[in-house]
Structure 1
């Protein structure tokens, strides 16, 4: 019984952490509608990208600023009664390029996101930060998300 109670408390605390991050993304983060990117690709889903700023003491010298962003994707079908979902992306940093990839799968989106490990402001303020450029490949539906990360050579 004690193990079940501990597991329930751990589950509830992880849910509240996601809820807190999502609240900060909606409250003072940025929201980007992704359907405007790559206009030649037919969009089967309505997708928005939310970011929540992450402040850390080691990024900026003698000042404060956004070190990285945590990202959420909201996904919705275009149906009369749309299926919706929101996903937390695994990778932190600053996305600087968004590209849709063609797919023939129903209610599916394929995205390629270029991301830096730190914000431009953090990198310009602190030359000791080591930036890693990566590509996040995403396949998303209202039911699931698959995310893979490829680090780019510096």
Structure 2
């Protein structure tokens, strides 16, 4: 899982960098060359979807997702573990929903062609599917690690790699 997480993080970073290049090229072409790159905006939006959802999935694995922790300070450790597992189950279900409904959106846009890129409109929704699958996978990993008595990363605590 560490390899998948690291690869997703590098792809997200590469997407962010590539999007920055596309937008910079568009600004240069528009204001210096008095021309426009018609593909730069839709390509950048697709890349943005990928780096947002890949980064969110890695954030789930590393314990950086949002949580409301005030109650946890007053509960015994066993109860905390149950609540962490419930949280991971809800996040896993959310990932399944993202992948399922994202794939339905992609199927519905399959025959639509994005004119500026010349590709299927399904490409717009693939980040939902990929991100949803990874969110489910990383949430499942957290549940299995907790069930096996292994540590899982939490925001403000050591990372998963440091805990191993």
For the criterion TM > 0.5, the same-fold answer is no
TM-score (norm 1): 0.25
Larger CA Rg, structure 1 vs 2:
2
TM-score (norm 2): 0.24
Higher relative contact order (CA 8 A, sep 6+): 2
- Structure having the higher strand fraction is 1
